[in-house]
Chain A
Amino acid sequence: MSSSWPLWEVFVRGKRGLNHVHVGSLHAPDAEMALRNARDVYTRRNEGVSIWVVKADDITASSPDEKDPFFAPSGDKVYRHPTFYAIPEDVPHL
């Protein structure tokens, strides 16, 4: 039954995609079955697609309550961001 099947998070990289993107989650008894289920549910078995599955339990998420102290410090420090460079039009993937 579903209650005994753990939750897995699914990350997919498309044929021409550069990075894996979180597309959703599903239940499966183990990683192998999670991969196969993810292929059915999220990619329609299209060739050239890379799938990662990871047990939801193994993911540590930042807490919404700590959002401000966690992320704010970088926002006002302009020297942390490479904003002073001119980026040529034809540089891909930036």
Chain B
Amino acid sequence: MSFDNAYESLLGHEDAHWAFGTGFAEALVGVNREFPSTVDRADIAAYCLMLGDDALIMAQRLAEWCSRAPELEEDIALSNIALDLLGQARLLLTRAGEVLERDEDSLAFLRDEREFRNVHLVEIDCGPGPGGDFGTTIARLLVFSSWRLALFSRLRGSADPVLAAIAEKGLKELAYHRDHAAQWAVRLGDGTDESHRRMQAGLERVWPFVDELFLAHPVEAKLSGVAVPSAELRSEVEGVLEAVFSASGLTRPADVPTARVAGMAGRDGVHTEAMGFLLAEMQHLHRSLPGATW
């Protein structure tokens, strides 16, 4: 073994091409894909769409930071997180597609706004657009990853083997996302006056959308043993956020949840005005060239 290339000595003699990010096993290999007989397959598909759409839209928002982050290293970190979430979205949309008889691309690119089931938190503009800045994006990431980590840690016990496996895989990613967001929340909150002001403003911006994360959806009740009841997550998530607030000198914003439209919100396909613009950009190419492969 020569040491001309620093990576050669790291690779060893096996196929551990880890330093280049290749050689990873296909996700969910060997997982039993049969649907549990205790619940309706259509309900599982609906639930997978919710969780898959959350990840897909959040990934799209984070990808908007590509080349716009405050530092090169942060640019890579945000892209990394976006890629993790896109990976989670692909697995969940594929699972939903097994019931709906559509593939992940069709579900991502050929559904209209009213057919998307993501929460409002992931779709609003938190920057780099006019809707926010880095602090706002960190505030959203902190809330989202804390919530999703709590959700996935329970989803590991799902009676649907595929959901359980997706949760198991996603858990490590989400722990990293939450850690990254918490690190930055503390740095910004406990940084300069200006960074504190922006981080606090970011929290104020996203806080009205937090309540939706914990609202029970009818499909959860029908998926006993398969889905995680949203209300169960509230105390754990709020505990995590309070810990970050106290470490960073940030103040928990007042609870003024956004109004729902006839009791409906993101999970019912009723979205904020940001959603249509987001989808127009995301779906443009696929809709311009329907049926194309790439």
Binding site for B on A (CB under 8 A): 2, 5, 12-17, 19, 21-24, 26-29, 32-33, 36-37, 40-46, 49
Contact = CB atoms under 8 A, between A and B. Distances in A.
Q: Main SS of chain A's interface residues?
A: mixed
Interface stretch (B3-11, B58-66, B91-99): B3-11
B158 to A, nearest CB: 23
Given A21-B9, A32-B183, A44 B14 contact: no
Contact of A43 (B19, B73, B76, B179): B19
Given A22-B6, A27-B71, A45-B176, A40 B19 contact: no
For the side of the interface on B, what is the size category?
20 to 34
Contacts of B11: 14
Contact of A2 (B7, B14, B19, B72): B72
Contacts of A2: 71-72
Interface in B2-47: 6-7, 9-12, 14, 16, 18-19, 21
A5 B71 contact: yes
Q: Main SS of chain B's interface residues?
A: helix
Contacts of B77: 36-37, 40
A21 B5 CA distance: 10
Contacts of A19: 9
B80 interface: yes
Interface in B142-181: 172, 176, 179-180
A83 B150 CA distance: 59
A16 to B, nearest CB: 5
B12 A37 contact: no
Nearest to A19: B9
A26 B176 contact: no
B18 A46 contact: yes
Contacts of B80: 40, 45
B89 to A, nearest CB: 19
